[in-house]
Amino acid sequence: MSLFIKKSVSQLMADAGDSEKGLKRTLGSGSLIALGIGAIIGAGLFVRTAAAAAQNAGPSVTLGFIVAAIGCALAGLCYAELSSSIPISGSAYTYTYATMGELMAWIIGWDLVLEYAVGAATVGIAWSEYLNNLLVNVFHMKPIPYEWCHSPFESLKDATGAVVSHGMMNIPAFGIIALLSLLLIKGTKESAFVNGIIVITKVTIVILIIVLGWGFINSANHTPYIPEPSTYVDSQNIGHSYGGIMGILGAAGVVFFAFIGFDAVSTAAQETKNPKKSMPIGILGSLAICTVLYILFAHVLTGLAPVEFFRTTGKEASVAKAIEVFMPGYAWLSKLVTVAILAGFSSVILVMLLGQSRVFYSMSRDGLVPKIFSAVHPKFKTPYKANLIFLLVVGAFAGFVPGDIVGDMTSIGTLFAFILVCAAVIILRKTDPDHPREFKTPLVPLVPILGIIVCGAMIFGLGWTNWLRLGAWLVIGFIIYFAYSKNHSKLRNPDK
């Protein structure tokens, strides 16, 4: 039997209609937009913006955001069509199963682990960093000891370069992931309510930074806007293409992490009251709102401080420290930012964990991963066992792996998923042209092809080390597929 055996759209819809095992439909358009914003505005905006400016593009990081936004918009149009046509939990995995077959579906499902599970770990690490900032600068307490808020692969050095302390485990990062996993087990509606409160808070803070910070922009920090091409070597002795076109593409690949989240909306399709109408609104609405905020925010941040500040003084806490140093009289805003960022990071982790458990829920229903991942709580109607497993797995990533590594892995994994989703639209238009589509991607196949090209360019900009990590990750996935999934697939083995 072919490795590319497909699951028909009618079969997917029939499986989703199994009310006894199905998830509870509780979400509307507003909740979906809030879920999208909740996932998008977080670590990417407050941490990756400064990192991209320092390592890749300087003030032209705003152009990197525009490139990333174009790629996301093209992919977002494709997601909107597929999620309204096939409103099933599972996102890109489900769409690929219906268009490209089982092996490609497995690859994308495994790849989505990079986006959601590893993404949640990345944000958990950033949450830990800002928790220390809150303790020291807002509550004037002692920070958490270095060894208990950093991974074993990180070390603290003094001015002479001598190692002062070694990381042991990032306990705060593990703790926030555990807490939010338990909230998800309680229910999707409850999780969406908490997320909505957080979204209102952090969007308000972002707007305050843009409005109040605009008057403190130093034009010298924006000159030249696109730096001359060079190589920047960071503190880990890793070289980055800085300035010029490659710097902008590299920045786009880095800040692309800031857009991850709008596609997580599609994983909640099976928990949406009217998915055919609400899915496109949730996906494209959250993406549009965040794109405008991102470009304005990046322009203000790079105007406040020079690039060298982000490389040395600011680092992970660049936003709060830039306000402290370059916006005199607004220390209260810096403190408020720290509180809002912690809340914002929490909503990102929440939606990432939601997306991951729903993808594996669908994969488990198809037999590609063990049944435990599709076990639904009898009262809460959530895949509670999957949430508990990801609590441990994602918590381990957050507790023991450095943030920079997992951040770039998340970006390249998501870009790869976007490429396949764009391709899926073209294929489904050819193989099932009569299937009802509540929302249609315009200018097919032009828009999907442009999406594939732009996302491919951003993968190219991330460099060979990340290509190698993605390749290694996919090799592990192939081993699991041929050792377990192929033999347990319900489509391939209907009698099992």
pTM over 0.95: no
| Domain-located, residue 462 | yes
For 230, counting Cβ atoms within 10 Å of its Cβ (0-12 exposed, 13-18 middle, 19+ buried), the class is exposed
For 309, counting Cβ atoms within 10 Å of its Cβ (0-12 exposed, 13-18 middle, 19+ buried), the class is buried
pLDDT digits (tens, 9 = 90+) for 276-303: 778 788 888 888 888 899 999 999 999 9
Q: How far is CA 36 from the centre of its chain?
A: 10
Overall number of domains in the chain: 1
Quote the pLDDT of residue 19. 41
pLDDT digits (tens, 9 = 90+) for 146-185: 888 888 877 777 777 777 788 889 999 999 999 999 888 8
The CATH number for 388's domain is 1.20.1740.10
| Domain-located, residue 138 | no
Q: How far is CA 374 from CA 23, 75, 368, 370, 371, in A?
A: 10, 28, 11, 8, 6
pLDDT digits (tens, 9 = 90+) for 90-104: 667 888 888 888 888
Bridge partners (DSSP) of residue 107 are none
Other CB atoms within 10 A of residue 22 CB: 16
| Domain-located, residue 168 | no
Contacts for 125 with CB less than 8 Å, ≥ 6 apart: 151, 170, 173, 398, 402, 403, 406
| Domain-located, residue 234 | yes
Residue-number span of the structural domain to which 391 is assigned = 9-127+184-488
From CA 280, how far away is CA 278, in angstroms rounded? 6
Other CB atoms within 10 A of residue 484 CB: 14
| Domain-located, residue 143 | no
- Strand boundaries in 229-273, DSSP class E: 230-233, 239-242
| Domain-located, residue 246 | yes
**Residue 397 token pair:** 């990533």
Phi/psi at 232 (5° precision): -110, 130
Strands 230-233 and 239-242: antiparallel
pLDDT digits (tens, 9 = 90+) for 430-468: 888 887 787 888 898 999 999 999 888 888 877 777 788
| Domain-located, residue 283 | yes
| Summary mean pLDDT of the chain | 83
